[in-house]
Structure 1
Amino acid sequence: MLAYPLLIINVLLVLLNTAVNSIFICLVAIVKLFLPTAKLKRAATRMADKSMWLWATVNTGILAMSNRVEWDIDGLDALKKDGWYLMISNHLSWTDIVVLCSVFKDRVPMPKFFLKQQLLYVPFVGMACWALDMPFMRRYSREYLLRHPEKRGQDLETTRRSCEKFKYNPTTVVNYVEGTRFTPMKRKSSRSPYQHLLQPKTGGIAYTLAAMGDQFENIIDVTLAYPDNLDKPFRDMLMGRMKRIVVKVNVLPVDEQVTGDYFNDKPYKRQFNQWLHQVWERKDETLKRIHKD
């Protein structure tokens, strides 16, 4: 019976933490609008990043007080706080965001997520993400480009301009390559060849690398698992039932396998697809070993 009052308390504390930091970031955004120089705007972004770090730290503390988690973390030694990284990960639950922020908040720069252009106009959310310098993408469909060929390449150019500011502040950009959270039903319906993963979607990560691949020092390949809380890990964490969290990190080079013209060079596109599927095969083998233990 204790788990349900704990669930309510944790939800309220997390919501309060999120509200306080979101309001502060929005206030930073308002100030940032009126700052006269790029240098001052970058300073405002760093202040917003510190608030995001505080949000992650408080969430970690809230959930640590109610869970006795056995952490199994490996592969963090090669990372640095002032680097530029692309982080790719499998996606299981809302828990992933809490775990990634908890594990990496003092190891790499606070993460940035590529967002759809429409989110910029959502009250509070859009302003907070803008203050954090999260890049907004405008993706045109193939059908739209057939009707408007003059727009071809503009979405990529817009993203490149949005990422220009990352040259001045160390940055971690996160990409959930599967595009959605894994479930056995999704795996079956999508006919995924992997036991613990969905098919990777190459377009999103290729788009990120095309926009700012020359800025990344490494790719951080993260494998997440909650082997004792498979069904509802986020609910279990809020109820104090999370038992074990596994985070395996593999730092990959940014080399000729991942740098090229994915959208116009067909041989490179095939090479990139093969590279990503090899990464996913290794990740699936890692997950098989974790769940076998």
Structure 2
Amino acid sequence: MTALSGPLRGVTAIGGLIGLTILCGIPLLPASLVKLALPAGRARDRATAMPLAIAKTWARSANGVIFGISGTRVHYQQQMADDPDGRYVLISNHQCWADVMLLIKAIDPRLPFPRFFIKEQLRWMPVIGLACWALDFPFMKRHSQAAIENNPSLRDEDMHAVRRACEVFRRLPVSLVNYAEGTRSTPAKRAAADSPYRTLLPPKAGGTAFAVNAMRDVLDGILDMTVAYIDTPEPKFWDLLCGRIPEVAVRVRYLAVPAALAEGDYGADPEYRARFKAWLRELWANKDAEIAAIQDPRDPRRAFDDLSAGAGSA
């Protein structure tokens, strides 16, 4: 595949992904209908096993297509023990659509298969929407701040969606993923948001906090994931598919829930909300400095500091 030109690689990869999605969509429909027919609870939890197996097959095959054709190397650090049966909230930066596949490539099967906070509009996409429902993804409406100010009750809609999903995930292994920026970080979006960060948008604490609050008595911890496209300050999925991004650095590390955040209600307690936001801003500032260095072609650094003994290439 490495002999293919850049655009031909990209077109080949997209064609492979479309064919793979159609193929996996065939068994997904009956598996999802079986789950839909069962009452909520343990029976439906057990019925999740088949859609989950299909999702894992699709994701692993899709990553084989993407990285086999593009030739991109992924340098992966896991700064924690393997724990495929745990329950975690995972927070990560988000710069392009490749982040999703890189996340799955990095943690599966070492850690629980991820479920994502996703936009409500994706519910109606063929195959994708059905898979997201069958895997209990929380669908988020993400109202604008202006809309919430006009109708404060809208603030509770996403909180209830997270709590409903967490009721299921309390019983199942999960890496519940929240891209805390709420959207992909691009130079235009950072300028519009007056972001204080070089590579990141300001993080939104609500989704992460609601998940931590809802699962705190069964939560094994927080996973902090950072993705940096080496020497590529403005990464694009198409460029990765075309083989124009030779290397990516991915780090996943374990964070215990800070004592200051272990008790409290993000929605009802202003002091707790302020503590959670301050903790996330500090985490984001450190993440931004690391990403900016790795993605800057003028900076000699090509990997995260303090490499663990188990670091390697995925």
Provide TM-score, normalisation by structure 2. 0.82
3-state SS, counterpart of residue 57 of structure 2 = helix
Q: Whose helix proportion is higher, 1 or 2?
A: 1
Corresponding residue pairs, total: 290
Contact 2:205 2:277 in 1 (8 A): yes
Q: 1:142 aligns with which of 132, 140, 148?
A: 148
Provide the residue aligned with 1:236 in structure 2: 239
Structure 2 residue 288 is matched with structure 1 residue 284:
yes
Whole-angstrom distance in 1 between the partners of 2:79 and 2:57: 21
2:278 matches 1:274 = yes
- Equivalent residue for 2:136? 133
Choose the corresponding residue for 1:68, options 66, 71, 94.
71
| Match of residue 267, structure 2, among 263, 269, 290 | 263
What value does the CA root-mean-square deviation take over the aligned residues? 2.6
CA displacement 1:174-201 (0-9 Å, x = unmatched) = 1011111111222222221112211111
Change over 3 Å in CA distance of 1:248–1:135 after alignment to 2:
same
Specify which of 206, 210, 215 is matched with residue 213 of structure 2: 210
SS at match of 2:133: helix
* Partner residue in 2 for 1:80: 83
Where 1:222 maps in the other structure, the secondary structure is strand
Which amino acid counterpart does residue 182 of structure 1 have in structure 2? Answer: S
From the superposition, tell whether residues 232 and 155 of structure 1 become closer, same or farther in structure 2 (CA, over 3 Å).
closer
**Aligned counterparts, 1:184-195, within 5 A:** 184-195=187-198
Does the C-alpha gap of structure 1 residues 230 and 286 become closer, same or farther in structure 2, counting only changes over 3 Å? closer
Greater mean alpha carbon deviation, residues 94-103 or residues 213-222: 213-222
Which segments of 5 or more consecutive residues in structure 2 lack a partner in the other structure?
Answer: 302-314
Unaligned ranges ≥5, structure 1:
none
CA contact (8 A) 1:120 1:126 kept: yes
How has the CA–CA distance of structure 1 residues 187 and 143 changed in structure 2, closer, same or farther, with 3 Å as cutoff?
Answer: closer
User: Which of 35, 42, 56 is equivalent to 1:53?
Assistant: 56
Q: Of 167, 170, 189, which aligns to 1:167?
A: 170
1:27 aligns with 2:30: yes
Q: Following TM superposition, by how much is the alpha carbon of 1:30 offset from its aligned partner in structure 2, in angstroms? A: 0.8
Distance in 2 (CA, whole Å) between partners of 1:234 and 1:155 is 28
Residues 32, 130 of structure 2: 8 Å contact kept: yes
Paired residue for 2:311? Answer: none
Cα distance per residue 1:190-243 (max 9 Å; x no partner): 221112211111222223223333332111111111123443431122213330
Contact 2:117–2:179 (8 Å) recurs in 1: no
- Shift in Å at residue 172 of structure 1? 1.0
**Structure 1 length normalisation: TM-score?**
0.87
- CA distance in 1 between counterparts of 2:73 and 2:119 reads 36
- AA aligned to 2:67 is A
- 1:82-106 deviation line (CA, Å, top 9, x unaligned): 1101111111100101111111111
In 2: Cα distance, 1:256 partner to 1:118 partner:
36
1:241-277 CA distances to partner (integer Å, 9 max, x unpaired)? 3301101222111233333211221221111111111
The residue identity in structure 2 corresponding to 1:266 is P
Matched, 1:9 2:15: no
Read off the aligned partner of 1:156 and give its amino acid letter.
M
3-state secondary structure, aligned to 1:174:
strand
Q: Residues 84 and 216 of structure 1 are in contact (CA less than 8 Å); yes or no, is this contact kept in structure 2? A: yes
Q: Letter of the 1:237 partner, please give it.
A: L
Match of 1:196 in 2: 199
Q: Is 1:250 matched with 2:253?
A: yes
Aligned-partner Cα distance in 1 for 2:105–2:12: 20
Please say if residues 156 and 211 of structure 1, whose CA atoms lie closer than 8 Å, have aligned partners that are also in contact. no
Matched with 1:219 is: 222
Instruction: Give, in whole Å, the separation in 2 of the partners of 1:250 and 1:261.
Output: 25
2:163·2:211 contact (CA, 8 Å) conserved in 1? Answer: no
Relative to structure 1, the CA distance from residue 9 to residue 118 in structure 2 (aligned partners, 3 Å threshold; closer, same or farther) is: closer
